[in-house]
Amino acid sequence: MKVRVGYGYDVHQLAEGEEFWLGGIKVPHTHGAVGHSDADVLIHVICDALLGAANMRDIGFHFSDQDPKYKGIDSKILLRDVLKLIREEGYEVGNIDSTICLQQPKVNPHIPAMKECLSEVMTIPIEDISIKATTTEKLGFVGKLEGVSAHATVLIQKG
């Protein structure tokens, strides 16, 4: 069996009046992430980690922010497409470990719904998805409520 590990990191600016999509669900908040797609930072890092593990470049390579067909796209569609790409190469997801860095709103109450949504989108068991959340203790762009960042590590396996 071939086992590979991938890592993803992403950042999005927060702006008042934008919808806030995180882990495939809409999180109620006064501010939301800004991006070409729906700016779901958690799904974006998972996509990047999966693509990296399979040595298939990154999310921007496959879904350019210069392409108008991806303007406002639901990131769950991108995640399904990434899974199709890695599965065509014979890989399956082993597990995902992720961390969302966000000062406000509190993420912990939304984690069960995020895990359920991602499990359905990726067709993997919910117990194979770990989502953690942290603040940056009011330091940096996250602490100053200017943005959100996320990290993900994934394990994929073949045969």
With tokens 């669900």, the residue in question is: 25
Binding-site residues sit at 10-12, 36-37, 44, 58-60, 63-67, 134-137, 141, 144
The binding site for a divalent metal cation consists of 10, 12, 44
Kindly report the backbone phi and psi dihedral angles of residue 113, in degrees, each rounded to the nearest multiple of 5, phi listed first.
-70, -35
Q: What is the dihedral of CA 102, 103, 108, 113, to 10 degrees?
A: -50
| Tokens standing for residue 55 | 């040595």
Tokens of 148: 């959100």
* Distance, CA of 35 to CA of 17 (rounded, Å): 13
- 80: tokens are 């399904």
For 16, the token pair is 């008042």
